[in-house]
Each structure stands twice: as C-alpha cells, then as structure tokens.
Chains A and B, each alone.
Chain A
C-alpha cells in the first residue's frame, strides 16, 4: 500500500502514482464484463413476488390505519403515548414497506462499476490553474507597497468593523467583586421577611438575600446555626458571627460555589459539610468552609453578621477579601 514513497519527486509531489496509477494513464478497467443488474430477487418466482407484494401492502396498510388512529387520538385529547404509537407505526410501516420493495422487487443491487476518475487533474490542467492564479499574483508582487498597505487596511478596518460586537455587553466592571450586601443591609427570606436569630434552630440552615436586591444572583447566602460547635475563626473574622448563649451561634457563608457557581446547598448536619450538587465540591463548615473534597479550589466566603436595633440579622459589610471573597468562581483578574 505504500508503494509510492520512495519514488523520486515529480510534479505530483510524493504521490506520482495515484491509487497505483500514473494520472496521465487511462483509468483501469477492472469492471466485470458480463454484469446484468436488471435482475431482482423474485424475478423468476411469480408466487414469491405476489407474496412480497402482499407483505409491502400489509406494511403500508399499517401506516394508513395508524394515520386514522392519529386523527382519532388528536380529536380525543392527544394522549402522548397513543400519539407516539401512531406516529411510530405510521413511519415504521412506510419505511418497512419501502425497504421490502427495494429488496424483493427492485433491480440494481450488487453492481460493480469503475470509480471513473483519478480525482486529480492532468499536469496540463495543473499548470493552467497556476498560470491563471499568477495572472493576478505577478502584478501584485510588482506593487509591494500596495500589497502591504492592503494588509494594514485589513487590520485597521477589521478592528473597526468588530466594534458592533462591543455593544453586546458592558465592560466587565467591579460588579463582579460586589454584591448587594452592605453595612446594615437586612437578611431577608425569598418572600422579603427579615430574619431574627431565634428563627434558626440548632443545626438550622436558611437561604437569605439582601433586602436591597433579592434578585442579585451572587448574593444568596446561607445562615447556619452552629450552636456550641467551635468554628475555627481566624483573627480577622472575630465578631462576624451572632453568638447564641455565648457560643458560636449563627454564621453566614456565600451559597455560590467557588468552583462553577452553582448553589452549594446540600448540608450534612452530622459531618457539618456543605456540598454543591453540580460537581460535588465539599466544604467543611467547622473549618470556615474550607474545601475538603472535589474540584473547588477556595472556601466559601463568609459574610460578617450583626443584629440591628430591631433584633433582625443584618450584614456588617459586603463580602470582602478578608472573608475569602469575592463571591463565586474564579476569573483572570480576581486578584
């Protein structure tokens, strides 16, 4: 099969012999001479042919019955299972009938024919096309300045016509680093009710939103009541929890997974782990939501909490780098 590699270079490159033939030679005639493709399967068997005809008719009868069935199903409330059955039988009967007709009563199988051409042109044609191309290339080569200028025009104009793309969206701005949380912003449930520390039982978990904008997709936050469990608090995060009876009490972490942004909303109260069901990143709540399994590279950021004068839970500030922010998955200039 590799009989062409070692021959010296020719106008046809490394493959002077296409399919083992010199392209300037005639295509070989290796088609059997006595072929007769007018025969069909039941040609000499009228009984078999009649049976075949009946089989095809039966298949197409199924199609007709199923079509009537479709109309009935449609009028009678369009039951999905019956509709699928009728559509399937209608298409199936039609297709099987066609296949049987081709197989049993139609001529034209098992024919051998020549592929008929080299799929490559003669040397003269190749020279001709190169010359036609050269008719334009040579004058261009005589004007190198214009040719180079055309390249520059393409670059400059190319940038200019790309500008409509800029309208698709705003410049990425600082709002990837910010959420609607801020100093004194109340934590509310989905229906806008503010939350008191006493609303969360021990081991309780609650999704809350900033009162100022419950639709902020980066803001959903989990309130967790850890009771008297010890949460490893680094010095810069002291006072971010709402103590209950002098113990750890309630902490707040971002619900948005730092891996791919899904809500990390499965809470295992036995092991105190938060799991994101998208790719199963697992965070240990007792180690300030450090990732302990799965692809998430960073912990869930923590939101500093306080209680306002009316006894409702509020944020001390927005998510910050001290708390492991900004919220959500990583990006190039996250810093």
Chain B
C-alpha cells in the first residue's frame, strides 16, 4: 500500500517537473514569434518608446499594406513559378529514375543507385561558382529560370532514394498480371507504378517544396535585380530599404511565414511527415 502511494507521489512530482520544463520550452519556441507578430502591428517609433512585448496601441496595418504594395507580390509570384516548375520536373524525372532502380534487373542498377544517393551529402557550395558561370554563359543569369536546374538537381538524390524504396514496397502481383496482358514497361510505369506511388510522391512534394520555397544560396547568387528575386530574398531587399524601421521588417517576416503557417493549419500531419521525410525513411 505504502509502496504504491509513494510511487504515485513520485509520478506526480515528475510529471509536474516535466510540465514546467515543457511549458518553459513552449515559451522559448514561441517568444521570438510573438515578438515578430506583435511588433509588426506597431508604428515605427512606437516600438522604441514602448516595451518590446507591450501590445500595440491600435491594430495598425500600415506596415502590411506598405509591404504588400512594395513589390511583395512580385517576389511571391517568382517563388510560385520557380516552385511549380521545379517541383513538377523533379517529381516526374525522379519517379522515372526510381522505377527501373526498384524493379529492373540490369548490371548498372546498384552502382547508379549508390551514385545518385551518395550525392545527398554534397555541399551545394562546391557547385556554386560553376553554376554561376553556366548561368552567365547561357544568359539565364538574373532570371528565375536559372534557379530551376539547380533546384531540381539538388532534389534528385533524396527523391530517388525515397521513391525507390517506396516502389520496392509495392507488391509485384499487379505488374505481373499486367505483363501477361501484354503491357510494356512504359505503359506499366504510367498506368500502374505512377498512380500507386501517389503517397510517396505527395510526401516528397512537401519535403522538396518546403526546401525550394525557402532556398537562399542559389537564389542569392544567381539573381540580382529586385524583380527577379524570390521570397526568401524579399526580406533582404526590404531590410536594405527599411533597415531602421523594425516594425516594417517584422511585417515582411510575418507575411513570408504566413504561407507555411496556413499549410500547417490545414495539413498539419502531412506537413510534419513530409518535412521530416528524408530523415525518417533513412
């Protein structure tokens, strides 16, 4: 009896400590966020006069309208175009490559798979100067088109890795009966493997989509003029313009995070799963 009681007290104490620590960590992860949102509604000098964590006098939206009329939509549009094209291309060609790697028997299957997957640990900085030179030679420098090639290429290793293991887990029976019906390899891919890989493809779309949406190094190196830059660089440009106007910068930041927050609200589980896809499948 005494033993059980003591165990219960012990459990209550440890849960209390756990909750205190957990709540503390909530503060740590949310405080910078609150800082950003609260101050984005303040007027320029309001933030300097008042404390950082005090609520703004009024729901002042002028920072947001300032950002939205100051070219924000152009960055947004560029990001959407780059994302849509790169993602479609990446998923298509990765699925194509994964199919033979998962199913065909040919000599080069294993070496090619190893080669593609090994590219995962290559730092993109080793390709930066040559890709920059190529973009200049092909006159794609300072256009959003220069970003598509590198974005697709650097998404390939993880995508092929995940899709190959996904396709390997699809049962062979369907293909076998299709083969008896005279289905060739190309039809097999478009009619059977592709539809059956939907779940894997959607996870990959989220994983690569988030990465491309946030990509900085290539976008910063391969574009130069304001009208050709993507959303992560919007903050950069606005900061150059309004460096002393902290609430304005906070508004840019809040707006640039908004798409992800909306995604998170509507597709929480899918997004979480997608964003950690590379790690968990590995």
A binds B: no
The residues of B with any CB-CB pair to A shorter than 8 Å are none
